[in-house]
Amino acid sequence: MRKIFLLLLLLSVLASGCEGSVVFYVPAVAGGEGGFIQARMSAWEGNSTFFEIPPYVGITTQNSFTTAVGIAKKIAKKECSFGISFPEKEVKNVDGPSGGVIFTVYAYSLLANVTPREDAIITGSVDENGAVGSVGGVYEKASRSKIIGKRYFVAPRPSISEYMLTRELEDENFTIVYISNVKEAIDFMFHNITPEAIKLKRTEKIPEEDNPWTVDGFDGIAVGMIAKEESELGNLSLPVEVYNYVEESISIQKALLRKGYQYSAANDAFVVLMDIRTIKDSNSKTLEEKAREVEECLNATDTEEKREDNFEWIAGAEARKKWAERQVKSVRAAKPELKEEKYILMNKLEYALGWCEIAGQLNKKGNGRVMNESVYREKAKEIIDEVEREVVVVDAVEHVENAKELYGEGKYLAAGYEALFAKAINDAETGKKEGVKEEYKTMWGKLYGSQALFSGSAEVANLANNLEVFFTEVEDEAVWEEKEGDNGCGSTAAILAVLFAAVMAKKSIIKCFL
């Protein structure tokens, strides 16, 4: 590590008003390793934001910086123009939302003419309301901060798996401080006020109104998912704070279910369940054993025919099977050496297996006539081409690639589904945000519409609206065929599927995983 990384702050306030600049280091992850990118922020009279190029500054980072500056201005009650640059020549591009909190802190330092503490590193995304969101690579960033001698690492409140991993880094000389909003970050960085020491805490509020878009059969699905959580919790020894967090999560899920938010309850249960399984399997299975388990599931999961009452479910199942395939391939391509690297990859494999299991439950025989899917070949191609031209957000690219692979396999509904998934991510990150509609009639529209209503996520609202239009058109344009020997018997699929991958340590925003 270069010596310059030991100097994480050079603050130079040239004058009062809006004249000043600050050089600081933003924690980042590249090639699976933690590090820092030098940033220089300047302020002057005006009311604009600017980005110096090169390097290329991705749209996600641009939005993150603009949002951070806006929040800092509100807190400081002052208007200035701001610019940011990343002057190191070896940096070719900068993208991602994880600089949101640190941008806010240093913008505030220029506006208020105050100096933040130098013994802490910060990561975390931030939204327009000042809420701090999760980001990827927390362990790598925290580990690198400890190596260079920092006393504190300030991060968003963690998931269970993140907490179990990062807690091993803490000792008498290194503490991780968890925050939920920008005010807590500013209080800690400028006033030495430490947030309430609750590292795992649920902050969601149960909606007062019942969910208006319920789907028959989903109560049982959510109940079943919660039961799996309770079963795993009863068979696993956990730190008391983790145990309490899971119990609190289960309580929230049951409350959501009572209010009719079936998808939100099942989705939350799925996410917590994947973290619990990661803790369990990390101590009992190798990555190779887990990867084979996923591959066995994939090989055993065959796609059923799309019929009048199950075509949306089958399309969703095909998409999730593709998620699992891509995830296990990425893990197999990795070369982990450290314990923490293996832990993170195990979490990815748990999600892959979870998606595969869901795909298997979705692939049930339906009733009615068989869909002639080739009718949608051109429609799917048009959607993929349009979305591929628009996409500038890194997180959306993987879904475009999935869409193209599914298209090549003749799975045109799933291809359209994945392309619209990419579009929802890209639109939300580039400022094209839609609200929740007054009514949804398609299955996926109802599911994601209700999740958007609960979470307030623009990304999920975009997805709900995209899929509502898509599957409405699919049904209107459908060509149905009678199959010889078909007696119309079968069972209708009714199982919830989870939307976003983490993480990957991904990404930032409230996401759906089931």
Note the pLDDT of residue 470.
98
Give the pair of three-digit tokens for residue 356. Answer: 């595969």
Partners of 35 in beta bridges: 28
Whole-angstrom distance, CA of residue 506 vs CA of residue 501: 7
What does the pLDDT read at residue 136? 82
DSSP alpha helix (H) spans, 301-370:
311-333, 339-362
Distances (CA, A) of 325 to 6, 42, 299, 423, 506: 41, 45, 10, 21, 17
Establish whether the linkage from the previous residue to 207 is cis, with ω within 30° of 0. no
Spatial CA neighbour of 306 closest among 237, 236, 268, 362: 362
Residues 6+ apart with CB under 8 A from 202: 245, 248, 249, 252
Taking a C-beta distance cutoff of 8 angstroms, is the pair 320, 355 a contact? Answer: yes
Length of the chain: 514
pLDDT tens-digit series, residues 150-185: 999 999 988 888 898 898 899 999 999 999 999 999
Three-state DSSP at 126 gives strand
Q: Could you tell me the two tokens for 301?
A: 């999961």
Mean pLDDT computed over every residue of the chain = 87
Ranges of residues in the chain with a pLDDT under 70 are: 1-16, 30-34, 197-198, 484-513
Residue 41: CA atoms inside 13 Å, Cβ hemisphere, count? 29
Q: Which pLDDT belongs to residue 60?
A: 86
Q: What pLDDT is recorded for position 423? A: 97
- Which two structure tokens, joined as six digits, stand for 201? 């805490």
User: Coil, helix or strand for 366?
Assistant: coil
Q: Residue 279 corresponds to which tokens in the numbers above?
A: 């803790």
406 near 418, Cβ under 8 Å? yes
Q: Which domains does the chain have, with CATH numbers?
A: 3-191 (3.30.230.10), 218-481 (no CATH)
- The pLDDT score that the predictor gives to residue 35 is 81
Bridge partners, 82 (sequence order): 43, 49
DSSP string, 165-194: HHGGG-BTTBEEEEESBHHHHHHHHHH--P
**pLDDT for 502:** 35
Q: Is residue 387 a contact partner of residue 417, using CB atoms and an 8 Å limit?
A: no
- Quick one: pLDDT at residue 30? 65
For 45-187, list the strands marked E by DSSP: 49-51, 56-57, 81-85, 93-94, 120-122, 125-126, 132-133, 152-156, 175-179
Burial tier of 497 (Cβ tally within 10 Å: 0-12, 13-18, 19+)? buried
Q: How far is CA 506 from the centre of its chain?
A: 5
Q: Are 509 and 454 in contact (CB under 8 A)?
A: no
Q: Would you list the DSSP string of 450-473?
A: HHHHHH--HHHHHHHHHHHHHHHH
CB 9 within 8 A of CB 29: no
